[in-house]
Homo-oligomer: A and B are copies of this chain.
Amino acid sequence: MSDAPVTLSQVAREAGVSLATASRAINGSATRSVRQDLRERVLETARRLDYSPDPSAQAMARGRTSALGLVVHDIADPYFSTIAAGVTRAAEREGLIVTLASTEQRRDREVAFVELARRQRSRAIILAGSRLVPPEDLPGTIPAEAVTQMESDAKALESALTSFREGGGGVATIGQGVGDLPVVEIDNASGAGALARALHDLGYRRFGVLTGPLGLRTAADRTTGFLDTLGALGCPALDRDVVHGNFTRDGGYAAMTDLLTRTGTATAEPRPDRPEVVFAVNDVMAVGAMAAVRDAGLRVPDDVAVAGFDDIHTLRDVSPGLTTVRIPLDEVSEAATMLALGAEASGTVVQGEVVLRDSTPRRQSPARS
């Protein structure tokens, strides 16, 4: 009971075979095979002695661990914890240990973790959370030095990732890629477009958008997809009604508060200049936005309707039910895991599906457009 861990050589000795044979019997070496009876004897002894291999030793000998790194921005955020659930499930199935890094949005921590993974020779890394948009696509409004900073951050991450891969590690990103790394892509633009169309069909004509930070690719794509479709539908959103916030619950709260303030606060009577419906680019922001609406003394959806994106399961019980675009995060994260582990990239672009709920009821008297 108080035994120091049993080693392979103990098993070998006990079974009366050489260390090498024991090793081969146990892990079933690719090149060499072991005689039936010997293998059984070894296996039996191993079981009897309650042997299990030392991962560090194996890692060292093989030059490769059985660890899978998962990088998220904030594990407490339900979007990321949902992903973590999918990844751990898949990893477990593959016999891998998952090591978790919650970077709290700090780019340097992300890079440090990737570097650690390389040293540690992790099998693969999954990167969740939005990457930055390429600088050339950024709106001109961003200060040049901020752009420079972003570029160097992105550069650092990309080069860390590159050397990780050169060392034989697998990588996959969720959402959209870094450079041309493998990615389980989510078609944010068309999902958001479909949502815009659906809301328009419900009779909404005045739209607002709560978007993420400038430069966050996912946020940008969703916003663009939404706005473009609105334009095509002939009822573009006012610039004034597109407001930026952090990609978090608090960001959504702040952005909605801001939006409401711009259009005149806390007025229950329908104001002609207030958007009828506001699209928050993710569910977590949407929930914050709903709270802001309530705190302003208004009601969802009577005064302002709200829609989100992702369909986070943990948030299914908010009330009124949140209209959103469903992304099958479980599948996405399992797919990403397999992809990082070397599965074929079967042209993975995940499409979302619009889910209409009570936060965006049909407009009673659709405005003529």
Contact = CB atoms under 8 A, between A and B. Distances in A.
A97 B81 contact: no
A162 interface: yes
A1 B75 CA distance: 31
Given A120-B55, A163-B1, A84 B102 contact: yes
A115 to B, nearest CB: 7
B102 A99 contact: no
A146 interface: no
A192 to B, nearest CB: 22
Contact of A119 (B3, B52, B102): B52
Interface in A67-97: 67, 70, 74-78, 80-82, 84-85, 88-89, 92, 97
Contacts of A100: 70, 84, 88, 98-100
B99 A85 contact: no
A145 to B, nearest CB: 26
Contacts of A55: 56, 116, 119-120
A257 to B, nearest CB: 14
Interface string A35-57: 00000000000000000111111
A229 interface: no
Contacts of A354: none
Interface in A288-302: 288, 290-291, 294
A78 B316 CA distance: 13
B65 A75 contact: no
Q: Which size bracket describes the interface of A in this complex?
A: 35 or more
A118 B56 CA distance: 12
Q: How many copies of this chain does the complex contain? A: 2
Nearest to A59: B56
Interface in A103-117: 104, 109, 115-116
Contact of A75 (B2, B57, B88): B88
A159 B2 CA distance: 10
A166 B214 CA distance: 52
13 contacts: A1-B162, A2-B166, A54-B60, A55-B119, A56-B57, A84-B84, A89-B104, A92-B109, A97-B99, A99-B99, A287-B317, A290-B317, A294-B319
A4 B67 CA distance: 19
A318 interface: yes
A314 B2 contact: no
B98 A56 contact: no
Contacts of A89: 102, 104
Contact of A288 (B60, B77, B120, B317): B317
A167 interface: yes
Nearest to A58: B56
Contact of A97 (B3, B116, B317): B116
Interface in A305-331: 313-314, 316-319
Interface centre among A102, A287, A313 (most CB of B within 10 A): A102
